[in-house]
């Protein structure tokens, strides 16, 4: 697993494991070095999954497994967004043209 630490624009730590297809970034908006919270992650491998609204999802699954997803076309297939209603968290599902999930991303704003 690769590890990186950054100080600009805020304190952050990033972990990347290409073998498992995982990338995580934690940020400390207080700049104290003691208050890291997850800010981003990306899953790109079928061996890793996430549970959303009682549904376990993985790369290779069909996007139709997720109810109430907003589709936004892009040049390279589709992007499907899922956003919690009560926070600034969003999940982005990158799919191919048939709706098969290619990667899963989480962002906290």
User: How many angstroms separate the CA atoms of 38 and 42, rounded?
Assistant: 12
- Tokens representing 1 are 């697993």
37-81 pLDDT, tens digit per residue, is: 989 999 999 888 888 878 898 999 998 888 778 887 776 767 877
User: How many angstroms separate the CA atoms of 47 and 33, rounded?
Assistant: 32
Contact 93, 49 (CB under 8 A): no
For the whole model, what pTM was predicted? 0.81
Residue 84 confidence (pLDDT):
66
Average per-residue pLDDT in the chain?
85
Does the pLDDT value for residue 85 go beyond 70?
A: no
pLDDT band with cut points at 50, 70 and 90 for residue 86: low
């Amino acid at each position: 697993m690769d590890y990186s630490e950054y100080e600009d624009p805020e304190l952050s730590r990033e972990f990347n494991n290409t073998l498992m297809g995982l990338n995580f970034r934690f940020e400390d908006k207080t700049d104290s070095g003691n208050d890291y919270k997850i800010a981003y992650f990306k899953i790109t491998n079928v061996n890793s999954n996430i549970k959303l609204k009682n549904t376990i999802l993985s790369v290779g699954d069909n996007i139709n497994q997720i109810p109430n997803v907003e589709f936004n076309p892009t040049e390279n297939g589709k992007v499907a967004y899922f956003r919690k209603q009560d926070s600034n968290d969003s999940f982005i599902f990158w799919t191919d043209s048939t709706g098969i999930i290619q990667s899963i991303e989480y962002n906290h704003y």
